[in-house]
Amino acid sequence: MTDRYDAIIIGAGIIGAGIAFELSKKGYRTVNVDKLAAAGEGSTGATCAIVRTHYSTWDGTALAYESFRHWQDWPGYLEVEDERGPARLIETGLVIIRSAQRSFKKELGFHDQLGIPYEEWDVATLQAEIPFCDATAFYPPRRPDDEHFGDPTAQSVPGAIFIPAAGYVNDPQLASHNLQRAAEAKGAKFLFDTEVVGIRRHEGRVAGVTSKSGDAIDAPVVVNAAGPHSFIVNRMAGIDGTMKVITRALRHEVHYLPAPDAERLPFISDDDIGGYCRPEVGHTMLIGSQDPACDPQEWIDDPDDFNRDVTSSQWQSQVYRMALRIPGLDIPTHPKGIADLYDVSDDWIPIYDRSDLGGFYLAIGTSGNQFKNAPMVGRLMAELIAACEAGHDHDVDAVRVRCPYTGESLDLGFYSRNREVNRASSFSVLG
Ligand SMILES: Cc1cc2nc3c(=O)[nH]c(=O)nc-3n(C[C@H](O)[C@H](O)[C@H](O)COP(=O)(O)OP(=O)(O)OC[C@H]3O[C@@H](n4cnc5c(N)ncnc54)[C@H](O)[C@@H]3O)c2cc1C
């Protein structure tokens, strides 16, 4: 059996579903092919879905702020109603706790340039705003088995930054389903329980994909939006080895605990202890790691075969570090949380680009920080694909995309597969 479309999108996570919606708006007949049973069941299903703007580059900050505006107007952006209702942006605001190591001056400069409001807090303000926080400094972050774990390194952290334009999306799988429904309303198709095992070429261009059951789907455009499987899909397309920046899968854990003061808990990004937390429904909170040097990195060769259980060692590292900041934390005896994969690029900045194979496009390397950007990533990819398929040489003259809400102009050359590793990056989940 052979089916024919204008574009095949491998993956129906938040990124693939967003691309389907934006391509369909342009009149493309798209099909998303996903080996799982529903939209957003891959790494999107495990995301903390935090929406924030403090990235280490102007481009990252501008994309995140534009995307924040999309989430604020989510039902309007979707144009149609989903029978399950819309996902919601919960605007908690963000408190960045500064460390002795990092002032965030550069990041605040980008906020000034883009008109994103923020407040700089001294320690007294931090303690008044979040009374359950201890402001002692512990930098550098350590693991509990370090003999100096919990030793204060200064009387207090250098202060904090409050950014109101931040929060989280309450249901990331529902958000993916919302995008699926929005795309379907424009004629898009979604095929689930269908694994792509081959990518076919014809006369030097991509010609389509072949599924595990042997079905062929033809299209002149194929998009790799396979999340942590991105490097495997690139291998299938025969383009691994043609890019300067590559992607790999990195295992990460997020832990669930009772929240100390769920009403007043904002999203906290703590550079001093190398962790973050945000409130979750049911008076709980999530705690994650910001990849400080003390946390070992667990790279995964086979994204279908890794430990999905939380480990007591990482639980202790993340939770005990947060307990230094929130001494009243109620730590359960049994670890609870999730383990899933980031699709990490060499510089923790995504690759949104064409490839050396004509018609084959990349929306990969989301590096644990691109859920929030999915609606705009859909638009970036749709503009890129339309321009390249019309003959534009994006490698020579990078496509630019105008942001509908903020009016900024984004240079897609920033996300090139052939960039030099971007040394301005945090080389962490902060992007
Ligand atoms: C623990 C964790 C916490 C995170 N927290 C945040 C956060 O707070 N904020 C933020 O912005 N981002 C966060 N992220 C990152 C964010 O979740 C990802 O960037 C985003 O969800 C990636 O979406 P995706 O669609 O690219 O990937 P996925 O959701 O993984 O979708 C890829 C899809 O491709 C399918 N697929 C793969 N190979 C094939 C194949 N051969 N055939 C068919 N289908 C295939 C998979 O089944 C999957 O459904 C976090 C990620 C994790 C893991």
Each residue's pLDDT tens digit, 188-209: 999 999 999 999 999 999 999 9
The CATH number covering residue 183 comes to: 3.50.50.60
CA nearest neighbour of 47 among 80, 71, 85, 14? 14
Task: Measure 342 CA to ligand 1 centroid, in angstroms.
Answer: 7
Could you tell me the CA-to-CA distances from 424 to 49, 128, 259, 365, 429 in Å, in that order? 24, 34, 34, 17, 14
* DSSP code for 123: H
Task: Measure 149 CA to ligand 1 centroid, in angstroms.
Answer: 33
Report pLDDT digits (tens) over 45-66. 999 999 999 999 999 999 999 9
Read off the pLDDT of each residue in 332-355 and give the average, rounded to a whole number: 97
Q: Are residues 148 and 256 in the same domain?
A: yes
pLDDT band at 261; cut points 50, 70, 90: confident
Name the burial class of residue 220, with classes exposed (0-12), middle (13-18) and buried (19+) by CB atoms within 10 angstroms of its CB.
Answer: middle
| Best probe residue, ligand 1, of 9, 22, 33, 48 (max atoms within 8 Å of C-beta) | 48
Q: Are residues 126 and 187 in the same domain?
A: no
Q: Are residues 154 and 177 in the same domain?
A: no
Q: Are residues 11 and 153 in the same domain?
A: no
Name the burial class of residue 156, with classes exposed (0-12), middle (13-18) and buried (19+) by CB atoms within 10 angstroms of its CB.
Answer: middle
Q: What is the pLDDT of residue 1?
A: 54
Q: Are residues 411 and 327 in the same domain?
A: no
Read off the pLDDT of each residue in 216-244 and give the average, rounded to a whole number: 97
Which residues contact ligand 1 via a Cβ below 6 A?
A: 10-16, 33-36, 41-44, 46-50, 195-196, 225-229, 233, 252, 254, 340-342, 366, 368-372
**Domain for residue 422, yes or no?**
no
**What is the rounded CA–CA span in Å between residue 111 and residue 83?**
37
Q: Are residues 311 and 405 in the same domain?
A: no
Domain final residue, candidates 286, 313, 344: 344
Indicate which atom in ligand 1 lies nearest the CA of residue 227: 27
Q: What is the pLDDT of residue 262?
A: 67
Q: Residue 135 pLDDT more than 70?
A: yes
Indicate which atom in ligand 1 lies nearest the CA of residue 368: 15
**Domain for residue 50, yes or no?**
yes
Percent of the chain surpassing pLDDT 70: 99
Task: Measure 13 CA to ligand 1 centroid, in angstroms.
Answer: 6
For 122-234, where are the E strands, in sequence order? 160-163, 167-169, 189-191, 196-202, 205-211, 216-218, 221-224
Q: Are residues 48 and 112 in the same domain?
A: no
**What is the rounded CA–CA span in Å between residue 144 and residue 141?**
10
Tell me how crowded residue 117 is: count the other CB atoms within 10 A of its CB: 9
**What is the rounded CA–CA span in Å between residue 362 and residue 348?**
15
Q: Are residues 51 and 104 in the same domain?
A: no
**What is the rounded CA–CA span in Å between residue 429 and residue 417?**
19
Q: What is the pLDDT of residue 211?
A: 98
pLDDT band at 214; cut points 50, 70, 90: very high
Report pLDDT digits (tens) over 3-28. 899 999 999 999 999 999 999 999 99
Q: What is the pLDDT of residue 2?
A: 64
Backbone angles phi, psi at 194, to 5 degrees: -130, 110
Indicate which atom in ligand 1 lies nearest the CA of residue 16: 25
Q: Are residues 254 and 339 in the same domain?
A: yes
Task: Measure 150 CA to ligand 1 centroid, in angstroms.
Answer: 34
Read off the pLDDT of each residue in 85-109 and give the average, rounded to a whole number: 97
Q: Residue 144 pLDDT more than 90?
A: yes
Residue given tokens 């898009």 in the structure block: 188
Task: Measure 11 CA to ligand 1 centroid, in angstroms.
Answer: 9
Q: Are residues 158 and 284 in the same domain?
A: yes
Q: Are strands 7-10 and 221-224 parallel, antiparallel or unpaired?
A: parallel
Q: Whose CA is closest to atom 41 on ligand 1?
A: 196
Q: Are residues 226 and 190 in the same domain?
A: yes
Indicate which atom in ligand 1 lies nearest the CA of residue 373: 11
**Domain for residue 426, yes or no?**
no
Name the burial class of residue 170, with classes exposed (0-12), middle (13-18) and buried (19+) by CB atoms within 10 angstroms of its CB.
Answer: middle
The CATH number covering residue 293 comes to: 3.30.9.10
Q: Are residues 252 and 159 in the same domain?
A: yes
Give the chain's domain count.
2
Between 240 and 260, residue with greater pLDDT? 240
pLDDT band at 282; cut points 50, 70, 90: confident
Residue given tokens 């995301």 in the structure block: 47
Task: Measure 111 CA to ligand 1 centroid, in angstroms.
Answer: 27
**What is the rounded CA–CA span in Å between residue 266 and residue 95?**
7
Left (φ > 0), alpha (ψ -120 to 50) or beta: where does 104 sit? left
**What is the rounded CA–CA span in Å between residue 284 and residue 136?**
24
Q: What is the pLDDT of residue 263?
A: 72
Q: Whose CA is closest to atom 18 on ligand 1?
A: 371
Hey, is 144 helix, strand or coil? coil
**What is the rounded CA–CA span in Å between residue 182 and residue 160?**
39
**Domain for residue 14, yes or no?**
yes
Per the structure, the complete domain to which residue 125 belongs is given by 94-164+248-344
Q: Please, what's the largest Cα pairwise distance for the chain?
A: 69
Mean pLDDT of the chain: 97
Task: Measure 151 CA to ligand 1 centroid, in angstroms.
Answer: 37
Task: Measure 14 CA to ligand 1 centroid, in angstroms.
Answer: 7
Q: What is the pLDDT of residue 3?
A: 86
